[in-house]
């Protein structure tokens, strides 16, 4: 291809990109290009121009354009990283507080059935069989039996990595179902919150009854702060979806659902990050037998305090107006 044909083919795109790089941040009428795609194309075109020995003037123009695009791509990536940092430090806990009534409702739907089933399973050893099979009960007893050699054996790093992946898949699967089922007018989220609460309460009550507390509670307390809180928050986001369908206000239901999903996703993103943290702790910390029971219980208690403090206090200084609206 001759240089003239090469410039005719790509010249218009170069000119548009040059104009956007000069005024793109201030000119709202000009749509932003897909910078990563444009940058890769420019690099290819510069390589072609050099290989075919086009004029130095063209090569210099493309080289400057490539460097300007590279700088803007790097800047956008930095802004995205900063956005995530701001979200974790302030946006996520602020979003949870803004939807606090759904959080409290989800917590009640999860915790109250767990308490009822836990107390019932502790006083009645047959009650657990209402929610799980005898084989499942034996499996739980085997996992937390202090005299079981398997429970006390350290796993290899390869097994820990495999379990890390398993826990991520399992935990996020539970949370996603709890959230997404909210589209059934909130009934799906209510079902999964109550079901998981009943299931968890049955395990807590039965394991406590058989006396395996020295292995069970040190195991669950560390990652439980993140995992159980995340399930409640996923349920709260699902309830927000359901409420928008039950009471869309002045909007049509599809529009109300879209607006509610925007608010709900502000919670869901952070919920999934919490589940990754929980999976990491469950695979590499909770299963460890090198540390004593007291250490793991103490650290797990600190995790719970940090989680509560994070959602109660983080992000309050950055948006006092929003906090005032929330508190009113």
Question: Residue 42 is encoded by which pair of tokens?
Answer: 């420019």
What is the pLDDT, as a whole number, of residue 293? Answer: 81
Q: Is residue 94 part of a domain?
A: no
The CA distance from 10 to 58, in Å, is 12
What is the pLDDT, as a whole number, of residue 61? Answer: 85
Is 113 found in the same domain as 78?
A: no
Q: 72 is in which domain, residue-wise?
A: 3-85
Q: Is residue 92 part of a domain?
A: no
What is the pLDDT, as a whole number, of residue 275? Answer: 94
Per-residue pLDDT tens for 198-236? 999 999 999 999 999 888 888 899 899 999 999 999 999
In the chain, the number of structural domains is 2
Is 244 found in the same domain as 117?
A: yes
Per-residue pLDDT tens for 259-305? 899 899 999 999 999 999 999 888 888 777 677 788 889 999 999 99
Token pair 């995340």 in the structure block, residue: 230
Helix axis angle, 3-23 to 56-86, nearest 10°: 40
What is the pLDDT, as a whole number, of residue 265? Answer: 92
Q: Is residue 255 part of a domain?
A: yes
Average pLDDT for the chain: 84
pTM score: 0.70
The CA distance from 2 to 6, in Å, is 6
What is the pLDDT, as a whole number, of residue 148? Answer: 57
Dihedral sign (CA 312, 317, 319, 320): positive
Q: Which residues of the chain have pLDDT under 50?
A: 26-30, 79, 150-157, 319-328
In b/e form, how buried is each residue of 215-232, taking b as 16+ CB within 10 angstroms?
Answer: bbbbbbbbbbbbbbbbbb
Is 260 found in the same domain as 199?
A: yes
Q: Is residue 93 part of a domain?
A: no
What is the pLDDT, as a whole number, of residue 320? Answer: 43
Q: Is residue 39 part of a domain?
A: yes
């Amino acid at each position: 291809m001759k240089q003239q044909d090469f410039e005719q083919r790509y010249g218009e795109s170069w000119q548009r990109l040059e104009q956007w790089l000069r005024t793109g941040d201030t000119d709202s009428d000009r749509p932003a290009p897909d910078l990563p795609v444009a940058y890769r194309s420019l690099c290819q075109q510069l390589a072609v121009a050099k290989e075919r020995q086009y004029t130095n003037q063209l090569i210099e123009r493309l080289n400057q354009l490539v460097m300007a695009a590279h700088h803007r791509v790097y800047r956008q990536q930095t802004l995205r990283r900063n956005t995530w940092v701001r979200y974790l430090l302030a946006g996520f806990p602020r979003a949870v507080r803004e939807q606090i009534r759904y959080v409290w409702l989800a917590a009640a739907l999860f915790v109250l059935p767990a308490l009822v089933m836990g107390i019932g399973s502790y006083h009645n050893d047959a009650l657990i069989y209402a929610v799980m099979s005898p084989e499942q009960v034996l499996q739980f007893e085997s996992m937390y039996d202090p005299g079981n050699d398997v429970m006390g054996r350290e796993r290899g790093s390869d097994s820990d990595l495999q379990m890390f992946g398993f826990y991520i898949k399992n935990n996020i699967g539970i949370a996603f179902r709890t959230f997404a089922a909210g589209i059934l007018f909130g009934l799906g989220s209510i079902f999964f919150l109550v079901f998981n609460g009943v299931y968890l309460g049955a395990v807590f009550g039965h394991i406590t009854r058989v006396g395996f507390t020295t292995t069970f509670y040190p195991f669950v307390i560390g990652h439980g702060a993140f995992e159980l809180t995340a399930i409640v928050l996923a349920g709260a986001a699902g309830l927000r979806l359901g409420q928008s369908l039950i009471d869309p206000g002045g909007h049509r239901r599809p529009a109300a659902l879209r607006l509610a999903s925007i608010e709900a996703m502000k919670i869901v993103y952070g919920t999934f990050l919490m589940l990754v943290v929980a999976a990491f702790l469950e695979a590499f910390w909770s299963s460890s037998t090198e540390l004593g029971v007291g250490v793991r219980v103490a650290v797990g208690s600190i995790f719970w305090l940090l989680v509560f403090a994070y959602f109660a206090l983080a992000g309050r200084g950055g948006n006092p107006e929003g906090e005032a609206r929330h508190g009113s």
